[in-house]
């Protein structure tokens, strides 16, 4: 949202803080950019050095400091501190240097920041609501100072990236996701609230760590957990009726259960299931062009069958059905291999998500053998098992297909199924490679290949902005399908020529705008919108997008 939608801007006619209180308000603080007149009017005279700096000068100084840090974790701490004290300068820096800052603000560095959160903790941001608050969640939520929250990203910390159960230390994920909503799609930070639900942790190392900041108890399960989540969702619904709720990094079982339970009760979605599916589908649509085939021609083999992998499979099926294929035939294009081997009908105890894709085929327990026998056109990894795309696997893929798809989607980088360099070298430069975390361009036999990063940031900010701008009552699978097709359509021929199947991050705001427009159009067309349809949806959304510029105080 633009500053016109933000109720605390100085020009909006509302009261605003002054003096030290103003300088400690990250949304309004201008630091050394306060003018002499503002310093007099706002009680800041003497509280700041006398030199007046422009925003550009502040960002330049911050960039020098950032680049002087000795490690990515130190850079994360610096940017986090800047965000807390001056959000305008933070977002200007991030937007002006997106390729450099995004790997710090989010993957892969945010994973390390979560692991170290108990040690690097400086100042709280967002809300921790624990299961000990059960029975008073609404009162706890009311402690948040902003009255018109429109966007909440919430986690219970059980499945942080590919790192597992980090409990209360997972707060870096909601914070990072909301930072990307603002930077990439222009959702005003005033409307954003990161929340961690602390229900305990089953991570023994954390329970024995004196620096751990969460509850020192095992995870709540069953009725206790369900009742707590229900109370939380109901409290959000009552206090923030216009809010979009994004579930993030929940364990597989809870992720599917919560999505099914709440998607039609509150405006909500799960990014690990639906956002990951959308960005992966976009990559498959773009890579199909390089492979000289359509999506219907693909035969996909997934390593992993959790929320991310099966979510991709479900959206692939939806896309194929939308193109006219029967659902059973669409399901036949997707094969899954989990920790127990190939998912086949002879196996017992399969979850509903897995059973849908079970095949009549002998059970296999060796992934390389499955690749050899099934001859998939693309393999997709989403289980957080590093190195599972071995040389044998990639060479077999290259022997079976002239341009095999190799999607190493697990985050962070340490969990990637293979590296970009390995994919290109082992396939002799023929692989179409995409990853969850960034990899640098690779030079192989004199040619430069630019790896595609299948980052959810291409999808969820635009989807969220479209939902908020239209006031949609729900988030549909059709919106994620439209987002995938929009994203795939934005990859230029020049980018495809380098092997890149996603557009440059430097164009992320335009990507988000187009996705938001497509999503808002669906909301209006399907009668889901709660606001009147603008004459020009794209222009209406563009006008709402937050720009990191300082307000002028009267």
pLDDT digits (tens, 9 = 90+) for 165-186: 999 999 999 999 999 999 999 9
Once rounded to an integer, what is the mean pLDDT over residues 542-550?
Answer: 95
Angle between helices 98-105 and 172-185 (to 10 degrees): 160
Question: Please, which residues have CB within 8 angstroms of residue 260's CB and are 6 or more apart in sequence?
Answer: none
Whether 441 and 475 map to the same domain: the answer is no
Task: Give how many domains the chain has, as a whole number.
Answer: 3
Has 106 been annotated as catalytic?
A: yes
pLDDT at 506: 86
Angle (CA) 418-422-425 rounded to 5° is 155
CA distance 500 to 286: 9
pLDDT at 412: 87
- Using 50, 70 and 90 to split pLDDT, how confident is the model at 365? very high
pLDDT at 3: 37
pLDDT at 13: 40
Once rounded to an integer, what is the mean pLDDT over residues 442-449?
Answer: 95
Asked whether the predicted pLDDT for residue 10 surpasses 50, the reply is no
Is there a contact between 282 and 457 (Cβ–Cβ < 8 Å)?
A: no
Residue tagged 């009549």 (tokens): 360
CATH number at 183 reads 3.40.50.10380
Asked whether the predicted pLDDT for residue 4 surpasses 50, the reply is no
Has 449 been annotated as catalytic?
A: no
Whether 205 and 315 map to the same domain: the answer is no
Task: For residue 496, give its domain range.
Answer: 458-544
Once rounded to an integer, what is the mean pLDDT over residues 96-123?
Answer: 94
Whether 260 and 407 map to the same domain: the answer is no
Q: pLDDT tens digit string along 449-497?
A: 999 899 999 999 999 999 999 999 999 999 999 999 999 999 999 999 9
Q: What is the largest CA-CA distance in the chain?
A: 79
Whether 464 and 435 map to the same domain: the answer is no
Whether 188 and 135 map to the same domain: the answer is yes
Question: Could you say which of 30, 76, 91, 177 is catalytic?
Answer: 177
Once rounded to an integer, what is the mean pLDDT over residues 362-371?
Answer: 98
Whether 320 and 361 map to the same domain: the answer is yes
pLDDT at 142: 97
Last residue of some domain: 222, 242, 266?
266
Whether 516 and 372 map to the same domain: the answer is no
Residue 129 carries which DSSP code?
E
Residue 45 belongs to some domain of the structure: no
DSSP code per residue over 48-97: S-S----HHHHHHHHHHHHHT-SSHHHHHHHHHHHHHH-HHHHHHHHHHT
Tell which residue, 84, 79, 163, has the closest CA to residue 386.
163
Once rounded to an integer, what is the mean pLDDT over residues 299-313?
Answer: 96
CA distance 130 to 492: 47
Last residue of some domain: 243, 266, 289?
266
Once rounded to an integer, what is the mean pLDDT over residues 541-548?
Answer: 96
Whether 295 and 373 map to the same domain: the answer is yes
- Using 50, 70 and 90 to split pLDDT, how confident is the model at 8? very low
Burial of 397 (0-12, 13-18, 19+ CB in 10 A): buried
pLDDT at 162: 85
CA distance 416 to 410: 5
Tell which residue, 48, 4, 55, has the closest CA to residue 546.
4
Question: Could you say which of 91, 106, 225, 458 is catalytic?
Answer: 106
Question: Please, which residues have CB within 8 angstroms of residue 78's CB and are 6 or more apart in sequence?
Answer: 65, 66, 69
Taking the model in full, what pTM does it have? 0.94
Residue 321 belongs to some domain of the structure: yes
Residue 200 belongs to some domain of the structure: yes
Residue 388 belongs to some domain of the structure: yes
Once rounded to an integer, what is the mean pLDDT over residues 218-236?
Answer: 98
CATH number at 440 reads 3.40.50.720
Whether 152 and 248 map to the same domain: the answer is yes
Q: Are strands 334-338 and 341-342 parallel, antiparallel or unpaired?
A: antiparallel
Q: How far is CA 312 from CA 126, 292, 331, in A?
A: 30, 21, 11
Tell which residue, 242, 177, 233, has the closest CA to residue 5.
242
% the chain with pLDDT above 90 = 93
Whether 222 and 312 map to the same domain: the answer is no
Is there a contact between 476 and 470 (Cβ–Cβ < 8 Å)?
A: no
User: Mean pLDDT score of the chain, rounded to an integer?
Assistant: 95
Asked whether the predicted pLDDT for residue 326 surpasses 50, the reply is yes
- Using 50, 70 and 90 to split pLDDT, how confident is the model at 42? very high
Asked whether the predicted pLDDT for residue 14 surpasses 70, the reply is no
% the chain with pLDDT above 70 = 97
Residue 406 belongs to some domain of the structure: yes
pLDDT at 15: 64
First-last CA distance in the chain: 22
Residue 205 belongs to some domain of the structure: yes
Residue 11 belongs to some domain of the structure: no
Burial of 146 (0-12, 13-18, 19+ CB in 10 A): middle
Tell which residue, 149, 315, 320, 161, has the closest CA to residue 250.
161
pLDDT at 2: 37
Whether 78 and 182 map to the same domain: the answer is yes
Last residue of some domain: 429, 455, 481?
455
Residue 176 belongs to some domain of the structure: yes
Is there a contact between 188 and 6 (Cβ–Cβ < 8 Å)?
A: yes
Whether 117 and 259 map to the same domain: the answer is yes
Asked whether the predicted pLDDT for residue 430 surpasses 70, the reply is yes
pLDDT at 552: 85
- Using 50, 70 and 90 to split pLDDT, how confident is the model at 521? very high
Once rounded to an integer, what is the mean pLDDT over residues 48-59?
Answer: 98
Tell which residue, 284, 316, 309, has the closest CA to residue 501.
284
Q: Are strands 341-342 and 405-408 parallel, antiparallel or unpaired?
A: unpaired
């Amino acid at each position: 949202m633009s500053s016109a939608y933000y109720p605390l801007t100085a020009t909006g006619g509302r009261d605003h803080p002054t003096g030290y209180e103003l300088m400690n308000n990250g949304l309004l603080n201008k630091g050394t950019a306060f003018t002499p007149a503002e310093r007099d009017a706002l009680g800041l005279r003497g509280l700041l050095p006398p030199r007046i700096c422009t925003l550009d000068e502040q960002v330049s100084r911050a960039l020098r400091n950032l680049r002087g840090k000795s490690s990515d974790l130190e850079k994360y701490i610096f940017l986090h501190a800047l965000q807390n004290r001056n959000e305008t300068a933070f977002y200007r820096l991030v937007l002006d240097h997106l390729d450099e800052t995004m790997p710090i603000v989010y993957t892969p560095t945010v994973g390390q920041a979560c692991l170290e959160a108990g040690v690097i903790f400086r100042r709280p941001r967002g809300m921790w609501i624990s299961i000990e608050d059960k029975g008073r969640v609404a009162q706890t939520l009311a402690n948040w100072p902003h009255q018109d929250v429109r966007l909440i990203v919430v986690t219970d910390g059980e499945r942080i990236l590919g790192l597992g159960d980090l409990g209360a230390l997972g707060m870096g994920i909601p914070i990072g996701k909301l930072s990307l909503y603002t930077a990439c799609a222009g959702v005003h930070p005033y409307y954003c609230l990161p929340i961690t639900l602390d229900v305990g942790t089953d991570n023994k190392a954390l329970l024995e760590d004196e620096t751990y900041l969460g509850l020192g108890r095992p995870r709540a399960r069953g009725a206790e957990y369900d009742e707590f989540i229900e109370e939380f969702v109901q409290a959000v619904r009552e206090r923030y009726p216009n809010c979009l709720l994004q579930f993030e990094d929940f364990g597989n079982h809870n992720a599917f259960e919560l999505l099914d339970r709440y998607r039609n009760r509150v405006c909500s979605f799960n990014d690990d299931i639906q956002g990951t599916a959308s960005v992966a589908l976009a990559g498959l649509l773009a890579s199909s062009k390089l492979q000289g085939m359509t999506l219907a021609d693909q035969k996909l083999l997934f390593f992993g069958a959790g929320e991310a992998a099966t979510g991709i499979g479900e959206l692939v099926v939806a896309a194929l059905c939308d193109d006219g294929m029967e659902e059973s035939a669409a399901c036949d294009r997707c094969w899954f291999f989990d920790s127990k081997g190939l998912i086949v009908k002879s196996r017992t105890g399969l979850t509903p998500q897995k059973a849908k894709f079970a095949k009549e085929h002998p059970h296999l327990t060796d992934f390389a053998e499955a690749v050899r026998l099934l001859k998939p056109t693309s393999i997709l990894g989403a289980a957080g098992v590093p190195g599972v795309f071995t040389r044998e696997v990639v060479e077999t893929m290259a022997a079976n297909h002239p341009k095999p798809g190799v999607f190493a989607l697990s985050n962070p980088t340490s969990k990637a199924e293979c590296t970009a360099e390995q994919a290109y070298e082992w396939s002799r430069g023929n692989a179409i490679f995409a990853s969850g975390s960034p990899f640098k361009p690779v030079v192989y036999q004199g040619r430069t290949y630019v790896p595609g990063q299948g980052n959810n940031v291409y999808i969820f900010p635009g989807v969220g902005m479209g939902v908020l701008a239209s006031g949609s009552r729900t988030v549909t699978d059709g919106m994620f399908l439209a987002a995938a097709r929009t994203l795939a359509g934005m990859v230029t021929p020049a980018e495809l020529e380098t092997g890149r199947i996603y557009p440059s991050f430097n164009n992320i705001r335009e990507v988000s705008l187009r996705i938001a427009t497509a999503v808002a159009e669906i909301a209006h067309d399907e009668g889901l919108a709660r606001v009147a349809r603008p004459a020009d949806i794209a222009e209406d959304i563009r006008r709402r997008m937050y720009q990191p510029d300082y307000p002028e105080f009267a």
